[in-house]
Amino acid sequence: MSEVTYLEAIREALFEEMDRDPNVFCLGEDIGRYGGAFKVTDGLLERFGEQRVIDTPISETGIVGAAAGAAHMGMRPVVEMQFIDFIANAYDMLTNYVATARYRAFLPCPMVVRGPSGGYVRGGPFHSQNPEAGFVHTPGLKVVYPATAEDAKGLLKAAIRDDDCVLFFEHKYLYRRIKAELPPGDHVVPIGKARVAREGRDVSVITYAATVWKALEAAEQVEREDGLSVEVVDLRTLSPLDDDAIQATVRKTNRALIVHEDTRTGGLAGEITARINEQSFAWLDAPVLRVTAHDVPLPYAPSLEDFVLPQTGDIVHALRTLAAY
Amino acid sequence: MARRSRGLGSGGTDIAKAVRSRQFPASAPHPGLSSAQLLELYYWMRLTRTLEERLVALYRQTKVVGGLFRSLGQEADSVGSAYALERGDVLSPLIRNLGSMLVKGATPVEILRQYMAKGDSPTRGRELNIHFGDTERGFIGQISPLGDMVPVMAGVTLSFKMRRERRVGLVYVGDGATSTGAFHEGINFAAVQRCPLVVIVENNGYAYSTPTARQTAAARFVDKAIGYGIPGEQADGNDVLAVYDVTRRAVDGARNGEGVTLIELMTYRRKGHAEHDNQSYVPEGEIERWERENDPIGRYVARLTGDFGFSPGDVTAIDERVRDEVDVATDLAERSAPPQPLDALVGVYADPPADKPLWYRPTGEAAVVSHERPEGWGTYSASAAERAR
Please give chain A's pLDDT, 325 residues, in tens.
689 999 999 999 999 999 999 999 999 999 999 999 999 999 999 999 999 999 999 999 999 999 999 999 999 999 999 999 999 999 999 999 999 999 999 999 999 999 999 999 999 999 999 999 999 999 999 999 999 999 999 999 999 999 999 999 999 999 999 999 999 999 999 999 999 999 999 999 999 999 999 999 999 999 999 999 999 999 999 999 999 999 999 999 999 999 999 999 999 999 999 999 999 999 999 999 999 999 999 999 999 999 999 999 999 999 999 999 9
Which residue among B143, B157, B190 places its CB closest to the CB of A97? B143
Which residues of chain B make contact with A62, given a CB cutoff of 8 A? 151, 154, 182, 185-186, 188-189
Range list of H helices, B22-94: 35-60, 75-82
Q: Which residue does chain B place closest to A28, by CA atoms?
A: B189
B129 touches chain A (CB under 8 A): no
Pairing of strands A112-117, A76-80: parallel
Contact A104 B352 (CB under 8 A): no
- Among residues A72, A127, A171, A317, which one is catalytic? A127
Residue B261 DSSP SS3: strand
Domains of chain B: 14-388 (3.40.50.970)
pLDDT tens string, chain B, 389 residues long: the values are 233 333 333 344 555 565 555 556 667 777 789 999 999 999 999 999 999 999 999 999 999 999 999 999 999 999 999 999 999 999 999 999 999 999 999 999 999 999 999 999 999 999 999 999 999 999 999 999 999 999 999 999 999 999 999 999 999 999 999 999 999 999 999 999 999 999 999 999 999 999 999 999 999 999 999 999 999 999 999 999 999 999 999 999 999 999 999 999 999 999 999 999 999 999 999 999 999 999 999 999 999 999 999 999 999 999 999 999 999 999 999 999 999 999 999 999 999 988 989 999 887 777 776 666 665 554 434 344 444 43
Which residue among B135, B152, B158 places its CB closest to the CB of A97? B152
Which residues of chain B make contact with A92, given a CB cutoff of 8 A? 145, 148, 182
Based on its alpha-carbon atoms, the radius of gyration of chain B, rounded to whole angstroms, reads: 21
Which residues of chain B make contact with A100, given a CB cutoff of 8 A? 143
A 186-205 residues inside an 8 A Cβ radius of B: none
Q: Measure CA of the first residue to CA of the last residue in chain B; give whole Å.
A: 43
B143 touches chain A (CB under 8 A): yes
**Rounded CA separation B240/B263 (Å):** 14
Chain center to CA of A38: 17
- Predicted pLDDT at B147: 97
Those residues whose C-beta lies under 8 Å from the C-beta of residue B377, and which sit 6 or more positions away, are B110, B120, B122, B134
Contact A107 B189 (CB under 8 A): no
A320 touches chain B (CB under 8 A): no
Residue B370 DSSP SS3: coil
Which residues of chain A make contact with B145, given a CB cutoff of 8 A? 92, 96-97
B125 touches chain A (CB under 8 A): no
Which residue among A54, A72, A93 places its CB closest to the CB of B151? A93
**Rounded CA separation B132/B246 (Å):** 26
Among B170, B185, B358, B372, the residue to mutate for chain A (most A Cβ within 10 A): B185
Which residue among B123, B135, B192 places its CB closest to the CB of A72? B135
Find, among B222, B221, B224, the residue nearest to B207 by Cα: B221
Shortest alpha-carbon distance between residue B346 and chain A (Å): 8
Contact A139 B157 (CB under 8 A): no
Among B348, B355, B360, B368, the residue to mutate for chain A (most A Cβ within 10 A): B348
B130 touches chain A (CB under 8 A): no
Domains of chain A: 4-180 (3.40.50.970), 195-324 (3.40.50.920)
pTM of the predicted model as reported, rounded to 2 decimal places = 0.93
DSSP letter string over B161-187?
Answer: HHTT----EEEEEETGGGGSHHHHHHH
User: What is the value of ipTM here, to two decimals?
Assistant: 0.95
> Do residues B263 and B201 make contact, with C-beta atoms less than 8 angstroms apart?
yes
Which residue among A63, A70, A104 places its CB closest to the CB of B126? A104
Is A127 an annotated catalytic residue? yes
- Predicted pLDDT at A145: 98
